[in-house]
Amino acid sequence: MDQVRRYLAPALFIAPGMLLYLVFIVYPMLQAVAMSLFDWQVVAGAVSVFRGLDNYARALADPRVWLSLSNSGVYMLFTVPPQIALGLGVALLLKDKSPAQPFFRVLYYLPVVTSWVVVSLLFKYLFADKGLINWGLGLQVSWLSDRWTAMVAICALGVWKGIGWSMMIFLAALQGVPQALIEASKIDGAGPWMRFRTVTIPAIWPTVAFVTIMLVIGGLNVFTSVQNMTGGAPGGDTDVVLTYMYRQAFEFLDFGYGSAIAVLLTLLVFALSAIQLRFFRNETMA
């Protein structure tokens, strides 16, 4: 009885949210793994056949999976480093309090709060055959109808939309760099670059790690922009993993296969995060 009374209050606080979370998030996690082992039938009454790891074998042998994975990889490679470099660069320029700081902060952060659908359509328009980009560069490129030029447009959007986020995080981290250390290294005769390398970077290293890991995860999860800018066109050449997965599931109704691709991508995300964590930890020790 005493036990019941003691745990009643926390149970009542936790229960409503936890129940919702278990049913609508945790159960689907397990269900995704389960579905990936079946030739899953959507139609009511039809029997789903257990196939073991067949869906996984099929995914690993599917050239389109590798193509979409390489597109996701390209996206990651060409959006993560620029977002870190430019975000950190802007943060360094903005870090000293000045009347202009809030103004610039807002301008750089505006794309972050704008909906992905809207900015995807906006970039589709800017990269149109007779659009602003072609005119500005004096080109006649049909950006969105070829794999590599389409990836340029998609990556440009990713960088443009993401700079503000990493800038904001770096800005906060830079406020925490001890001023005394900077003064001390000035007295020791260190130039700006030397101070940046020996004082600033070590001080914000955990933030660099955090931003990198989050951006890599975000990069592998790119979906809305590709879906709305090219929809995988031409002929699936610009598909990333999630648009390919989405099409397998909701166009071809191959739910088991789609689930297998989703599980594989999740494993990849976890593995990459673990590797990065280890890398960043070792680098601090050195």
Partner 1 sequence: MRVTPAIALRLTTLAVGALVMITPFLYMVSTSFKAQQYVLKVPPQFIPDPATLANYERVLTKGNFGHFFLNSVLVAGTSTVIAVFLSAMLAYGFARYRFPAREWLFRLLLLGLMIPAMMLIIPQFILAKWLGLIDSLPGLVVFYVAGNLALNTFLLRGFFEALPAELDDAMQIDGANDWRRFLDLALPLGRPALATATIFTFLATWDEYAWALTSITTPENQTLPIAIALMQGPKGTQWGLVFAASIIAIVPVIAVFLTFQRHFVQGLTSGAVKG
- CA count, 13 A, side-chain hemisphere, 70: 10
Residues 9-68 that bind partner 1 (CB under 8 A): 9-14, 16-18, 20-21, 23-29, 31-32, 35, 42
Q: Give CA separation, 174 vs 13, 91, 164, 216, in Å.
A: 38, 8, 15, 22
Closest CA to 122 of 156, 163, 164: 156
| Contact pattern from residue 85 through residue 124 relative to partner 1, giving x for each residue in contact according to CB under 8 A and a dash for the rest | -x---x--xx---x-x-x-xxxxxxxxxxxxxxxx-xxxx
| 153 interacts with partner 1 by CB under 8 A | no
Which residue number, 193 or 286, has a Cβ lying nearer to partner 1? 193
Give residues with Cβ within 8 angstroms of 179, minimum separation 6: none
- One-character DSSP codes across 105-165: HHHHHHHHHS-HHHHHHHHHHHTSTTSHHHHHHT----GGGSHHHHHHHHHHHHHHHHHHH
Site for partner 1 in 117-136 (CB under 8 A): 117-119, 121-126, 128-132, 135
CB of 262 to partner 1, least distance (A): 5
Quick one: 78 or 127, whose CB is closer to partner 1? 127
Among the listed ranges 49-57, 145-153, 256-264, 277-285, the one in contact with partner 1 (CB under 8 A) is 256-264
Shortest Cβ distance from residue 192 to partner 1 (Å)? 10
Binding mask 187-216 for partner 1 (x = CB under 8 A): -----------------------x---x--
Helix (H) or strand (E) holding 38: strand 38-39
